[in-house]
Amino acid sequence: FRQMSDPGQEFAKIRVWGTIGWIIAGLGISYLFAWDSSQGIADGMLRNTFLMCAIASLALGFYSFSLPATPPKADGPVGLKEVLGLDALALLKDRNYAIFFIASILICIPLAFYYQNANPFLAEIGVTNPTGKMTLGQVSEVLFMLLLPVFIHRFGIKKTLLIGMLAWALRYALFAFGNADEMVFMLLIGIALHGVCYDFFFVTGQIYTDARAGEKFKSSAQGMITLATYGVGMLIGFWVAGHITDHFATNGAHDWQGIWMFPAVFAVAVLILFMLTFKNSKTVNPTSTL
Gap between the Cα atoms of 279 and 153, Å rounded: 17
Write the burial class of residue 228 (CB in 10 Å: 0-12 exposed, 13-18 middle, 19+ buried): middle
Mean pLDDT of 109-133: 93
pLDDT of residue 290 exceeding 50: no
pLDDT higher than threshold 70 for residue 257: yes
Is a pLDDT exceeding 80 seen at residue 75?
no
Let me know the angle formed at the C-alpha of 109 by 288 and 158, rounded to the nearest 5 degrees: 40
**Cα gap 13→49, rounded to integer Å:** 27
The percentage of residues in the chain with a pLDDT greater than 90, rounded to a whole number, is 56
Is residue 217 scored above 90 in pLDDT?
no
Domains of the chain by start residue, with CATH? 80-277 (1.20.1250.20)
Phi/psi region, residue 267 (left: phi>0; alpha: psi -120 to 50; beta: rest), is alpha
Question: Which of 13-17, 45-49, 60-64, 272-276 bottoms out in mean pLDDT, i.e. has the lowest?
Answer: 13-17
3-state per-residue secondary structure call for the chain = CCCCCCHHHHHHHHHHHHHHHHHHHHHHHHHHCCCCCHHHHHCCCCHHHHHHHHHHHHHHHHHHCCCCCCCCCCCCCCCHHHHCCHHHHHHHHCHHHHHHHHHHHHHHHHHHHHHHHHHHHHHHCCCCCHHHHHHHHHHHHHHHHHHHHHHHHHHHHHHHHHHHHHHHHHHHHHHHHCCCCCCHHHHHHHHHCHHHHHHHHHHHHHHHHHHHHHHHHHHHHHHHHHHHHHHHHHHHHHHHHHHHHHHCEECCEECHHHHHHHHHHHHHHHHHHHHHHCCCCCCCCCCCCC
**163, pLDDT greater than 70:** yes
Least confident window among 17-21, 26-30, 120-124, 193-197:
17-21
Helix axes 130-177, 7-27, angle to 10 degrees: 100
Distance CA(152)–CA(191), nearest Å, equals: 23
pLDDT given at position 74: 57
Closest CA to 241 of 268, 265, 260, 269: 260
Task: Please state, in angstroms and rounded to a whole number, the distance separating the CA atoms of residues 139 and 232.
Answer: 28
pLDDT of 35 above 50: yes
The pLDDT of residue 9 is above 60: no
Q: What is the pLDDT of residue 147?
A: 86
pLDDT band at 52 (very low <50, low <70, confident <90, very high): very high
What is the residue-averaged pLDDT of the chain? Answer: 87
Mean pLDDT of 252-280: 95
